[in-house]
Amino acid sequence: MIAQLVQGDIEGDPQIEIQGPAPIEAGTPGTISFLADQKYESFAYTTASSALLVDRQFQPQQPISATLIRVDNVRLAVAFLLKQFDQSKAGSGTVADQAFVDDTATLGTGVSIGRFSVVEAGAEIGDGTIIHDQVSIGKGVRIGRNCVLFPGVRIYANCEIGHECMIHSNTVIGSDGFGFVPREDGSYDKVPQVGNVVVEDHVEIGANCVIDRATMGATVIEAGVKLDNLIQIAHNVRIGAHTVIAAQTGIAGSTRIGAHCQIGGQVGIVGHIRIEDGTRIQAQSGVAGAITEKGQAVYGSPAIPYGNYVRSYAVFKQLPELDKRLRKLEKEGKG
């Protein structure tokens, strides 16, 4: 059955029963593991797992006791199987007695709503979507089909979530953007934030993220974007399709991030700039200006082209020794 699911070929006992997945180095009888990186190959010969997903071209150098399932792409096969084992995404198709759903809200077929969750007036929730406990969905919010919102998620009024999205615990979508105008006396006047947030299809957002609503218009997270935990996205930002962003990154207002970008952890990006498609930003970099060349890799603070940074850092590490040599040469010159 598992081999059929992943379109794999079996080498070994086709009748073994699998109860769940396990890492290759910690496998036990009844589990399935995988070998996607050759540096873990030694564990293939010692694992106690009953089955092992491997690449079709894998050639064992020693006997393997586990049944092999050969597939075209091990990582994709593992991702698919883990979805089958993951019960946290399974809904009951019912609304808990302790939940509050406004009479004017619209629920699709098979929607699940957990205890103490609130769905405000005019909200729309698509077929098969799962709302876990203690989720707050504001007035006029629209959520598509087959989404999963984990406990503690907050969706403010009039925001839009596409189909097959996943939002992890305590993330806030649609909070006010950071908009204030200084007065002559040094105090600040708040600028009303009347826009919304639009999250397109197949987006996953980690825990404890904040995506601010636009001052006017929309903050937009395009299709297929993947956001790690603890990310701040300010008002009127647009993140292009299939961009991935690691934890603790902050993006200031009105910045445009292109499609298929890769942004490392703890990156800071200033506002009102454009970052082109395919940009790769190394962790802990600070981006202070536009990146206008597609596919560029940058590093540092302020970020510069990755190769330049690595070469510059190699010199930087030698500065104490270079300083000594320079001083020695100066003394010899004076003598």
CATH code for the domain in which residue 261 is found: 2.160.10.10
What is the value of pTM for the model shown? 0.84
The answer to whether residue 333 is domain-embedded is no
The full DSSP string for 164-182 is S-EE-TT-EEEEPP--EEE
What Cα–Cα distance (Å) separates residue 43 from each residue in 66, 77, 243?
11, 19, 34
Greater confidence (24 vs 316) lies with 24
Same domain, 42 and 117: no
Give 199-238 pLDDT, tens digit per residue: 999 999 999 999 999 999 999 999 999 999 999 999 999 9
The answer to whether residue 327 is domain-embedded is no
CA distance 334 to 150: 72
Q: Of the candidates 32, 60, 85, which is a domain's last residue?
A: 85
Q: What is the pLDDT of residue 16?
A: 93
14 Rama class: left (phi>0) / alpha (psi -120 to 50) / beta: alpha
Mean pLDDT over 11-28 rounds to 94
Same domain, 241 and 156: yes
Contact predicate 110/93, CB 8 Å: yes
H/E stretch holding 245: strand 244-245
Give 155-173 pLDDT, tens digit per residue: 999 999 999 999 999 999 9
Contact predicate 204/182, CB 8 Å: no
Same domain, 15 and 128: no
The answer to whether residue 186 is domain-embedded is yes
Same domain, 77 and 168: no
The answer to whether residue 208 is domain-embedded is yes
The answer to whether residue 277 is domain-embedded is yes
Q: Of the candidates 50, 85, 120, which is a domain's last residue?
A: 85
Catalytic residues: 235
The answer to whether residue 173 is domain-embedded is yes
Q: Is the pLDDT of residue 90 over 90?
A: no
CA atoms within 13 A on the CB side of 112: 19
Q: What is the pLDDT of residue 274?
A: 98
Q: What is the pLDDT of residue 62?
A: 95
Place of tokens 């910690």: 26
Same domain, 133 and 219: yes
Q: Is the pLDDT of residue 88 over 70?
A: no
Same domain, 20 and 107: no
Same domain, 50 and 121: no
H/E stretch holding 53: strand 51-55
CA distance 159 to 299: 34
Residue 18 sits in a domain whose CATH number is: 3.40.1390.10
Same domain, 185 and 46: no
Same domain, 12 and 115: no
Number of independent structural domains in the chain: 2
Q: Tell me the pLDDT band of 109, cut-offs 50, 70 and 90.
A: very high
The answer to whether residue 6 is domain-embedded is yes
Mean pLDDT over 273-297 rounds to 97
Q: Is the pLDDT of residue 335 over 70?
A: no
Q: What is the pLDDT of residue 268?
A: 98
Same domain, 66 and 153: no
The answer to whether residue 179 is domain-embedded is yes
Structural domain containing residue 32? 2-85
Whose CA is closest to 209, among 145, 154, 127? 154
Q: Tell me the pLDDT band of 286, cut-offs 50, 70 and 90.
A: very high
Give 36-68 pLDDT, tens digit per residue: 998 999 999 999 999 999 999 999 999 999 999
Q: What is the pLDDT of residue 84?
A: 84
Same domain, 11 and 125: no
Q: What is the pLDDT of residue 334?
A: 63
Contact predicate 207/225, CB 8 Å: no
Same domain, 294 and 257: yes
Tell me the three state secondary structure of residue 76. Answer: helix
Mean pLDDT over 244-273 rounds to 98
